Amino acid sequence: MDRELGRRLLGDMIRIRRAEETLADLYPAQEMRTPTHFSIGQEAVAVGVCAALHRTDVIYSGHRCHAHYLAKGGSLDAMVAELYGKETGCARGRGGSVHLSDPAAGVLASSAILGQTMAVAVGTALAFAMDGLPRVAVSFFGDGTVEEGIFHEALNFAVVKKVPVLFVCENNGYSTHTRLDVRQPASVTIRARAASYGLPAQAVDGNDVFAVYDTAQTALTHCRSGAGPAFIECATYRWREHVGPLWDHDKGYRTKAEVDDWVARCPIKSATARLLREGLCTPADVDAMTRASQAAVNHAVAAAKAAPFPAVEDLTLGTY
């Protein structure tokens, strides 16, 4: 594996993990007054896919958008400030945790309504296709979103119009507290159902950042070739509660054993192990990455706390 790439993939995951762990620790202080869905444990999907993207490609996400936003290069300071409801936030404090965007970095929008951005990503890809641009639009969504009608309409349209959109399904096995098998046919995988729309659909270990990266590369090549959309199903797992910073394996909808098992398969731990094994980085490098990431987060938090709240006179600003 390429040394720089390997280190970048690991570094990005560490960056995101540090940011979210830190925010999760600070969350109970009640200063971030916005329902927050942490991606802790799912970083490999965001990082693996976004590392395979070009700067000009764009992404869309849903309610669990921190990792996608950061992986694509969204401003950490602006994200933290947004969670603190400050004027310096990426949505100037108007949008909150579930509405992150950073157009300059290609993070066009995130939305808290399931499936909304799947269709939006298809529309952006349609625009790219109309202009004959090699750009790709990525749609990140969860396994629960697959049940919404818009999933079907979006895939059908994307295939029929051959637009360059990459659908990335982050299958963490749950929709809030409901297991996948209670919500979808047990006999067919999401990947298989996606494939039935006539697009290339690949399943991958969502906790193996290198595998995700390779799978995304192949899919993106297909999209850029003008052959239309592609689909990736990434198996992964959410460590914390659905919304909020806490652990919830005591709540009865999943077992501690299940959580422990997935924590043991931490995407960062395994990626670190591999890079060390292959001699692509040293423990010191990892410490350095971690310290640098932590410093960046601490700085972002301090800046966010110091930043001003939006002015009440601007309450309706920007509505039309």
Partner 1 sequence: MRRLTYGQAISEATVQCMEADPSIFVAGIGVDDFKGIFGTTLEAHRRFGDKRVFDIPNGENAMTGIAIGAAAVGKRPLVVHPRNDFMFLCMDQLANLAAKWRYMFANGTGVPIVLRGIVGRGWGQGATHSQSLQAMFAHFPGLHVGTPATPADAKGLLVSALTGTAPVVLLENRALYELEGEVPEGLEAVPFGKGAVTRPGTDITIVGVSLMAYEALRAARILADQGVDAEVIDLRSVRPLDEELVLTSLRKTGRLVVADTSWALCGVSAEVAAIAAEKGFVSLKAPVRRVTPPDSPAPVSKPLEDAFHPNPMTIARACLDVLKAAGASTKGVADVQATFAGPY
Interacting residue ranges for a copy of itself, rule: CB under 8 A: 147-153, 156, 159-160, 182-188, 192-193, 195-199
Locate all alpha helices (DSSP H) within 76-208, ordered by sequence. Answer: 76-83, 116-130, 149-160, 180-183, 190-195
Q: Token pair for residue 242?
A: 């659905």
Binding residue for ligand TPP, selected from 31, 103, 113, 179, defined by CB under 6 A: 113
When the beta carbons of 148 and 214 are compared against a copy of itself, the nearer one is 148
By the rule CB under 6 A, 114 interacts with ligand TPP: yes
Is residue 232 part of the contact set for ligand TPP (CB under 6 A)?
A: no
Residue 90: contacted member of Mg ion, partner 1, a copy of itself, none (CB under 5 to 8 Å, by partner type) = partner 1
Q: CA-CA-CA-CA torsion for 139, 16, 212, 233, nearest 10 degrees? A: -40
Give the length of the chain. Answer: 320
Candidates 43-51, 245-253, 258-266, 297-305: pick the segment binding partner 1 (CB under 8 A): 245-253
Name, in order, each residue with C-beta under 8 angstroms of 75's C-beta and a sequence gap of 6 or more.
Answer: 90, 102, 105
| Residues 104-114: b if buried by 16+ CB within 10 A, e if exposed | ebbbbbbbbeb
Using CB under 6 A as the binding criterion, the count of chain residues that bind ligand TPP stands at: 16
Task: State in angstroms the smallest separation of the CB of 186 from partner 1.
Answer: 12
The residue within the footprint of ligand TPP, chosen from 1, 34, 73, 112 (CB under 6 A), is 112
Q: Which residues sit opposite 140 in a β-bridge?
A: 168
230 beta partners: 166
Q: Which is nearer to Mg ion, 183 or 291 (CB)?
A: 183
**Quick check: 300 and 238 in contact, CB under 8 A?**
no
64 binds, among Mg ion, ligand TPP, partner 1, none (CB under 5 to 8 A by kind): ligand TPP
State yes or no: residue 86 binds ligand TPP (CB under 6 A). Answer: no
What is the chain's Cα-based Rg? 19
Site string for ligand TPP, 131-160 (x = CB under 6 A): ----------xxxxx---------------
Residues 25 to 54 in contact with ligand TPP, rule: CB under 6 A: none
Site of interaction with Mg ion (CB under 5 A)? 142-144, 172, 174
Taking alpha carbons only, the member of 100, 68, 67 closest to residue 81 is 100
Structural contact between residues 191 and 201, judged by C-beta atoms closer than 8 angstroms: yes
**Contact positions vs ligand TPP (CB under 6 A):** 63-64, 112-114, 141-145, 172, 174-176, 238, 242
